[in-house]
């Protein structure tokens, strides 16, 4: 990958990460419910960040192709997701773990109220909830979700933006 493509990918990855960080901070400080529709802004920001990076790359390189567009998009998504996941870890580990406690309690209640699970299944589910309610596991889960969504979105956007007309 050429230097200008790398610069575009890094710049837009940092822009995306900064936006997700600032929005995530606002989201937490405003004490918005974790089930609020405002949480979906993260899934709108990813495609916008990818779109802007590809558009900038196409402006600088008339020979933009699928491979380069996808590599740039993947880097943008990974950097942005990593920055946000790091924020989530630091925030939940050192500042306020209230969100994780709320999510844990809600999931434990749902598991307890599910009449179709055996005792062993309930016990295994509760262990999994305990593991995923830790800041590290929670952050990794968010990172994976954002990257998977971002890569799928990137594939579609790159295909549309680099195809021959």
| Domain layout of the chain by residue ranges | 3-94+138-162
pLDDT in tens, 68-120: 899 999 999 999 999 999 999 999 999 887 878 887 888 778 777 777 777 78
pLDDT in tens, 14-60: 999 999 999 989 888 887 776 788 888 888 999 999 999 999 998 88
> Rounded CA gap, 18 and 13, in Å?
8
The pTM score is: 0.86
């Amino acid at each position: 990958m050429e230097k200008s493509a790398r610069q575009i990918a890094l710049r837009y990855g940092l822009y995306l990460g900064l936006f997700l960080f600032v929005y995530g901070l606002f989201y937490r400080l405003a004490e918005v419910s974790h089930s609020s529709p405002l949480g979906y802004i993260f899934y709108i920001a990813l495609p916008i960040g990818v779109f802007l990076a590809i558009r900038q790359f196409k402006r600088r390189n008339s020979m933009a192709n699928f491979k380069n567009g996808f590599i740039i998009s993947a880097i943008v998504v990974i950097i942005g997701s990593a920055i946000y996941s790091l924020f989530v870890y630091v925030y939940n580990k050192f500042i306020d773990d209230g969100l994780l406690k709320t999510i844990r309690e809600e999931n434990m209640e749902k598991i307890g109220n599910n009449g179709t699970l055996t005792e062993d299944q309930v016990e295994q589910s509760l262990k999994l909830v305990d593991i995923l309610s830790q800041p590290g596991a929670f952050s990794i889960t968010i990172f994976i979700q954002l990257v998977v969504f971002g890569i799928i979105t990137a594939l579609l956007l790159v295909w549309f933006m680099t195809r021959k007309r």
